[in-house]
A and B are shown apart, each in its own frame.
Chain A
């Protein structure tokens, strides 16, 4: 393994910006777009995803020498689906409101490409410690994007943030921001901004 010299802090931090799952790798776009009509929904979704990501990374990296190569993808998906069921039941029991708001997007975590992608690209090749850091980093990066996207859409679309009204009566909410087109437009602008910033940094 030539990449052995990567430091442990780096293993965590790379998920936040340099290899951010949404902005750079363009993975997990479906939940990113679907649940960010408010900041709270975004956070809940990101936490559930991080839970599934971290637990399946731990399990898969510790079992990586036992899973036969040919059926590894099917194995990963089964493990992920099991953890998603756990997360889904947990949410339905402890916060039925959010569970209802997220609807079928919670079970859809099973097919979130971020999770399968990390298992295939990282956990199946590295030890438990590094896999834990990597999946935590990716989860945090996902949380950041969802929170920012959810906040922008909530402020512009309903004049509030985390359900607190911050803009007064003078503000005429942009309905379109909390509807599907708003999600595409905001994410497009965010991706463009992050590319612009990375270009600038690379040229400086």
Chain B
């Protein structure tokens, strides 16, 4: 039951994009088409799940026993950078079209704040191993959800008559604001 709560909290109530503002760059950059949004979301969820597991192991089995918690940030970012490289090679191998769609945003997952944010939040909340894992999957699902909804709205927005100055980033932010407002309806559903 507790695990279910963590999942729902990470995916919906405390959505990484809409209430923690993590991963805004890909959120604005890759949300033009639903299809690329889905693949980006899957790539991020995959990396997030692995990151949650690996950083938990590193934090609790290396950093804490050897009293080098001060190296937390350096260690986490190194792990994430190498993981992303791995995922990139993996995707290029199994699906070239997918690789071309994700393009520049794949290496950019490294500097996607959502991934490092996930590792930091999991430590901050003192989650156990399984809890961290569920938290990672939930956060990835929430990210994918926000990205896909946004891409759906933006596909329709192509046909709308938006003032010239607000085309692109401006209107995207305002739509995101309305989405965040809608997601706030879930606030208080679970308190974690």
On B, residues with C-beta under 8 Å from A are 18-25, 28, 70-74, 77-78, 81, 108, 110-113, 115-117, 120-121, 124, 163-166, 169-174, 176-178, 180-181, 184
Contacts and interface: CB of A to CB of B under 8 A. Distances in A.
B120 A107 contact: yes
A91 B55 CA distance: 24
A115 B159 CA distance: 36
A175 B174 CA distance: 17
B77 A30 contact: no
A195 B166 contact: yes
Contacts of A81: 73-74, 77
A26 B169 contact: yes
B184 A179 contact: yes
Interface in A20-40: 26-27, 29-31, 33-34
Interface in A71-107: 73-74, 77-78, 81-82, 84-85, 88-89, 103-104, 107
Given A85-B74, A192-B166, A111 B174 contact: no
Interface of A: 26-27, 29-31, 33-34, 73-74, 77-78, 81-82, 84-85, 88-89, 103-104, 107-108, 110-113, 116, 176, 179-185, 187-189, 191-193, 195-196, 199
Given A29-B28, A111-B112, A180-B18, A188 B73 contact: no
A188 B170 contact: yes
Nearest to A85: B73
B77 A77 contact: yes
Given A184-B176, A185-B173, 10 more contacts: A26-B25, A78-B78, A85-B73, A108-B117, A111-B112, A180-B184, A188-B177, A195-B164, A195-B165, A196-B164
5 shortest interchain CB distances as A-B pairs: A188-B173, A184-B177, A196-B165, A192-B170, A188-B174
B120 A77 contact: no
A80 B95 CA distance: 33
Nearest to B121: A104
A181 B184 contact: yes
Given A188-B173, A192-B166, A193-B165, A111 B181 contact: no
B74 A82 contact: yes
Contact of B23 (A30, A104, A185, A189): A30
Contacts of B177: 181-185, 188
Contacts of B21: 29-31, 33-34, 180, 183
Contact of B25 (A29, A176, A184, A188): A29
